[in-house]
């Protein structure tokens, strides 16, 4: 895994060629995982530094709310620490972390209906607050995604943004493949309508 | 519609998948995982001390409890007004109706159970419960300031469980004493 710009402070001294980076990172990651399994918090911190942007990114896309995403990401890493012994390397570590992050988001939403409603309300109240990381036309899409109902949003994020198949998304979310497909169809339809509305609203501004 | 679908999917694929959180989440994670492996941080020393004291007192009280109750069966009955049990409040987390029911049931039985103990044994049990209650109050106060602190949440949960255990054991001990007493009376 290539470290992101935000985490380069922790990767000083690593090789610069991309292939060498990938090999070195994979070896480092395997070593860090083993050390973490042996209850080495320092090694686990390095894993956190390497993966936090991916985990937080997924949580943010799924919840649409930075505060909720922080809590979910934190919970995901705590759960990852507890469940490390179960990680056997059948999938990439980042994929394994993603599954835990999805569980953290779903678990948090299940814990309390009131909290779930609050997450939804927060998302609905701030639909036009685009993420700083998204630019231009993507901000409209992000705002529209944040307004989707939770079920449709989760499937859309996992499938369309993160590239997981319906089988993988279904496993992560605990839903049938058919349900995942139906939710994606629903998300596409709602996003098309929302973006068309936004285009219509923006159209007069474009006219001279 | 197909063009729109493609457009949405193409645009979705361009969305950033790696986003840096606005703050470092590691301190909170570290605190939570350290609680499972290492002693708790210094700032939570008092609640932990209170818990430790409660456990030590509980062990001492439990070992002597049976002897004391058997020894002093005719002692006058005094019910302490200090042991008042409130409903469980646990930040935004629910301990579950089962836990709450058990706690309410044991709390309501506790006064009766204590009446069967000698003043000495009763005093020890009350001290144990008071120490645990102090710990609960302190942890709750700390949680007011840091409601998302996983370490404190864990600590509070454990302390509630300890309280439940003490109440349960008091009930068990008095029941044993009653059974033995009944047996002796029957023999006579």
**Number of other residues whose CB lies within 10 A of the CB of residue A194:** 19
Cβ-defined contacts of B8-14 (< 8 Å, 24+) = B8/A141, B8/A160, B8/A188, B8/A191, B8/A192, B8/A195, B9/A160, B9/A188, B11/A137, B11/A138, B11/A141, B12/A141, B12/A145, B12/A156, B12/A160, B12/A161, B13/A160, B13/A161, B13/A163, B14/A138
Q: What is the Cα–Cα distance from A140 to B136, expressed in whole angstroms?
A: 48
pLDDT at A190 over 90: yes
Residue A146 and residue A127 in contact, taking contact as beta carbons nearer than 8 Å: yes
- A2: which residues sit within 8 A by CB, 6+ positions away? A18, A21, A22, A25
Residue B159 and residue B135 in contact, taking contact as beta carbons nearer than 8 Å: yes
What pTM was computed for the model? 0.54
pLDDT for A183 equals 96
Q: Is A122 on the interface with B (CB under 8 A)?
A: no
pLDDT at A28 over 70: yes
Show me where the domains of chain B are located.
44-76+103-174
Q: ipTM of this model?
A: 0.77
pLDDT at A8 over 50: no
Q: Is B3 on the interface with A (CB under 8 A)?
A: no
pLDDT for A110 equals 79
pLDDT tens digit sequence for B123-169: 877 877 888 887 877 777 777 777 777 777 777 777 777 777 777 67
pLDDT tens digit sequence for A75-103: 999 999 999 999 988 899 999 999 999 99
Q: What is the Cα–Cα distance from B6 to B29, expressed in whole angstroms?
A: 40
Average pLDDT, chain B: 67
> All domains of chain A, ordered by start, with CATH?
17-126 (1.10.1740.10), 131-208 (1.10.10.10)
Counting as low any pLDDT under 70, the low residues of chain B are: 1-6, 37-102, 168, 171-188
Asked if B21 lies within 8 A of A160 by C-beta distance, the reply is no
Give A 82-121 residues with CB within 8 A of chain B: 82, 111-112, 115
Residues in chain B closer than 8 A to A70 (CB atoms): 21-23, 25
pLDDT at A10 over 50: no
Asked if B18 lies within 8 A of A142 by C-beta distance, the reply is no
């Amino acid at each position: 895994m290539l470290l992101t710009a935000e985490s380069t402070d922790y990767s000083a001294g690593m090789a610069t060629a991309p292939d060498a980076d990938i090999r070195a990172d994979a070896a480092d990651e395997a070593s860090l995982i083993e050390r973490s399994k042996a209850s080495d918090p320092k090694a686990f911190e390095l894993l956190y530094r390497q993966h936090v942007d991916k985990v937080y990114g997924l949580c943010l896309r799924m919840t649409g709310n930075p505060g909720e995403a922080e809590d979910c990401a934190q919970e995901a890493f705590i759960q990852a620490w507890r469940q490390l012994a179960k990680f056997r390397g059948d999938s990439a570590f980042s994929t394994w972390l993603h599954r835990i992050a999805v569980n953290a988001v779903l678990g948090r939403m299940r814990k309390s209906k009131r909290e779930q409603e609050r997450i939804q309300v927060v998302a609905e109240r701030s639909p036009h607050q685009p993420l700083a990381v998204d630019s231009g036309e993507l901000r409209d899409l992000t705002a529209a995604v944040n307004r989707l109902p939770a079920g449709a949003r989760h499937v859309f994020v996992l499938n369309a943004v993160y590239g997981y198949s319906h089988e993988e998304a279904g496993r992560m979310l605990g839903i049938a493949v058919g349900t995942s497909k139906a939710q994606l169809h629903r998300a596409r339809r709602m996003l098309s309508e929302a973006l068309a509305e936004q285009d219509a609203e923006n159209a007069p501004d474009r006219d001279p | 519609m197909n063009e729109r679908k493609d457009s949405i999917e193409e645009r979705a694929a361009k969305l950033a998948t790696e986003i840096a959180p606005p703050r470092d989440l590691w301190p909170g994670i570290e605190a939570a995982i350290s609680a499972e492996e290492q002693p708790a941080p210094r700032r939570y020393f008092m609640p932990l001390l209170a818990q430790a004291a409660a456990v030590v007192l509980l062990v001492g009280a439990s070992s002597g409890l049976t002897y004391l109750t058997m020894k002093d069966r005719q002692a006058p009955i005094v019910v302490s007004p200090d042991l008042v049990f409130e409903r469980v409040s646990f930040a935004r987390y629910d301990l579950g109706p089962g836990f709450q029911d058990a706690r309410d049931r044991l709390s309501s039985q506790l006064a009766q159970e204590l009446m069967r103990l000698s003043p000495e044994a009763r005093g020890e049990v009350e001290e144990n419960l008071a120490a645990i209650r102090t710990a609960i109050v302190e942890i709750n106060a700390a949680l007011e300031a840091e409601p998302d602190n996983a370490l404190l949440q864990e600590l509070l949960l454990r302390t509630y469980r300890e309280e439940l255990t003490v109440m349960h054991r008091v009930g068990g001990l008095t029941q044993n004493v009653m059974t033995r007493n009944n047996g002796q009376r029957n023999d006579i």
